[in-house]
Copies of this chain bind each other. A is one copy, B any other.
Amino acid sequence: MTSLHGIYPYLVSPVDPATGAVREAVLRRLVEHLVDAGVHGLSPLGSTGESPYLNGEQRAEIVRITVAAARGRVPVVPGVAAFATQQAVAEARRYAGLGADGLVLILQQYFPLPRAAVAGFFRDVAAAVPSCPVVLYSNPRLAGVALPADLVAELAEVPNIQYFKEASGQTGEILTVLNRTRMKVFSASAHIPLTVLQLGGVGWMAGPACLLPRECVALYDLAVAGEWEKAMALQRRLWRVNEVFGKHGLAACVKAGLELQGFEVGPPVAPQLPLGEAAVAEIGAALREAAS
């Protein structure tokens, strides 16, 4: 089973606003650019990838293109987000069949679910793709379901559930999980990525890494080398980007930033609105500051 670590940019989903067609050339060029910059893997269809705003065909197309463009140089680990177990199982199998090296799995909430139902979802989907490593993703703010540490510990017994990504922003939860389980932990952008690495995390899956791949890889390399002071100086410079993204919305910001960098990824999927001029200027400034 592929081992996952390092910087995984969350890819945006470049979709034509009029026709809904995936812009294959743009996505291929973005993948090439990121792999060139040294990222350790690619994660399409995360929050940054606007997964809930796409239909099944768009989603499969994005996985297909990403795998093709990556050409085996780095692992491709798409997100699977669903309300229903059967839909998640179907998507997980489809992406594995398309060549995905792992999955980031998230349960969306409509009706509140008891703990046993939440556990059942993750167990059933993981069992459907037994040779595929699964990243358990807890994102109560966007998806409505929190995964408390004792549930993470229970799911850590499933052989292919090997990673945990926490996006509540409560960094203490990560230490609890690391203390109690064998889970390997990825940082989300709601946390300070360097802090997660200091706690023992294995990487960072993040929208900002689409825009600042070299800087994110440098942060990871400094952490691996134990160069904590240099790493902290770089982290402080990079943090502004997380702040701006938190303020204006993840997908809209990354898409606007990529447009500034010359990638015609288009606007966020409606009803989301493109950012206004002031917000775009703020993103541009944060990127320049972070890259300096």
Interface positions of A (Cβ within 8 A of B): 20, 47, 50, 52-56, 83-87, 107-108, 110-114, 116-118, 120-121, 124, 142-144, 169-172, 175-176, 178-179, 190-192, 195, 198-199, 228, 232, 235-236, 239-240, 242-243, 249-252, 269-273
Q: List 6 A-B contacts (CB under 8 A).
A: A111-B142, A111-B252, A170-B190, A171-B191, A179-B236, A198-B228
A235 to B200, CA, bound (A): 13
- Is there an interface contact between A111 and B198, defined as CB atoms closer than 8 Å? no
Listed from nearest, the 4 A-B pairs whose CB atoms lie closest are: A121-B271, A171-B171, A85-B270, A53-B84
From B84, B195, B251, B270, A86 is in contact (CB under 8 Å) with B270
Establish whether residues B169 and A271, one from each chain, have CB atoms under 8 Å apart when the complex forms.
no
Chain B residues positioned under 8 Å from A236 (CB to CB): 175, 178-179
What's the minimum C-beta distance from A161 to chain B, rounded to whole angstroms? 15
Is the beta-carbon distance between B192 and A172 smaller than 8 angstroms?
Answer: yes
Q: Is the interface of A mostly helix, strand, loop or mixed?
A: helix
Of the candidates B120, B199, B243, which one forms a contact with A192 in the assembled complex, judged by CB atoms under 8 Å apart?
B199
- Counting chain B CB atoms within 10 Å of each CB, the highest count among A50, A116, A240, A243 belongs to A243
A232 CB, nearest partner CB in chain B, Å = 7
* A25–B86 alpha-carbon span in the complex (Å): 23
B120–A273 touching, CB < 8 Å: yes
Q: Is the CB of A271 within 8 A of B85?
A: yes
Q: Are A118 and B271 in contact (CB under 8 A)?
A: yes
- Select which of B111, B178, B273 is within 8 A of A272 by beta carbon: B111
A245 to chain B, nearest CB (A): 11
B176 adjacent to A114 (CB under 8 Å): no
The residues of B that contact A118 with a CB separation of less than 8 Å are 271
How close is A166's CB to chain B, nearest CB, in angstroms?
Answer: 12
Chain B residues in 8 Å Cβ range of A47: 110-111
Which of B120, B170, B249, B272 meets A169, CB within 8 Å? B170
Residue in contact with A113 in the complex, picked from B192, B250, B272, CB distance below 8 Å: B272
- Closest Cβ–Cβ distance, residue A10 to chain B (whole Å): 14
Chain B residues, CB < 8 A from A252 = 111
For residue A235, which residues in chain B have a CB less than 8 angstroms away from its CB? 175
Question: Chain B contacts of A117 at CB under 8 A?
Answer: 270-273
A113 to B118, CA, bound (A): 27
In the complex the two chains form, is B52's CB within 8 Å of A110's CB? yes
Cα A156 to Cα B274 in complex, Å, equals 25
